[in-house]
Structure 1
C-alpha cells in the first residue's frame, strides 16, 4: 500500500468516485476515506452532488414549460429575421 494522504485523496476524489483510478489507488483512497473524517465528509458531499446532478439531467421539463419556451423562441426568431 502506498501513502495516501489528504492531498492525494482530495486530488483524485472525482476519479475515485467514477472508478477511474487503478485498483491499488482505489484501495489506498478508500482506506484513507475510512480513516479520515474530513476527507470522508468531502467524498460524501461530492457523491451526493454528483447523484443530484445526474438525477436532474434525467428529468424532463413539464410539457407546458417546453411549449412556452418554444413559443418564445419562435417569436424571437420571427422578430429577428
Structure 2
C-alpha cells in the first residue's frame, strides 16, 4: 500500500464511504486517513452526514400528514 495523498483521498471520499472502491484503493485511502488529520476530519463529517441521511430515509411521515400533503397537492393541481 502507498499513501494516496490528500487529493485522491478527498476526490474518492464519497465512493470510499459507500464501499464502492476496489479493495486496494480503499486500503490506500484508509491508510492515508489514519495519518492525515485534515482528511480524517472530512471522513468524520462524511460519516455523520451519511448516517443522518440513512436515518432520514427510514423515517415515514404519519399517515394523517401524508393525507394532508396529498390533499394540498391535488387542490393545487385542480386549480392550475
TM-score (norm 2): 0.88
| Larger CA Rg, structure 1 vs 2 | 1
Would the aligned equivalents of 2:3 and 2:29 in 1 still touch at CA under 8 Å?
no
- Higher mean displacement: 71-80 or 36-45: 71-80
Counterpart secondary structure, 2:43: helix
User: Residue 42 of structure 1 corresponds to which residue in structure 2?
Assistant: 42
RMSD between aligned alpha carbons? 1.3
Gaps of 5+ in 2: none
Counterparts of 1:47 and 1:23, CA distance in 2 = 19
Q: How many residues align?
A: 80
Cα deviation 1:18-57 (Å, max 9, x = unaligned): 1111111111100100000110010010111011011101
TM-score (norm 1): 0.87
Gaps of 5+ in 1: none
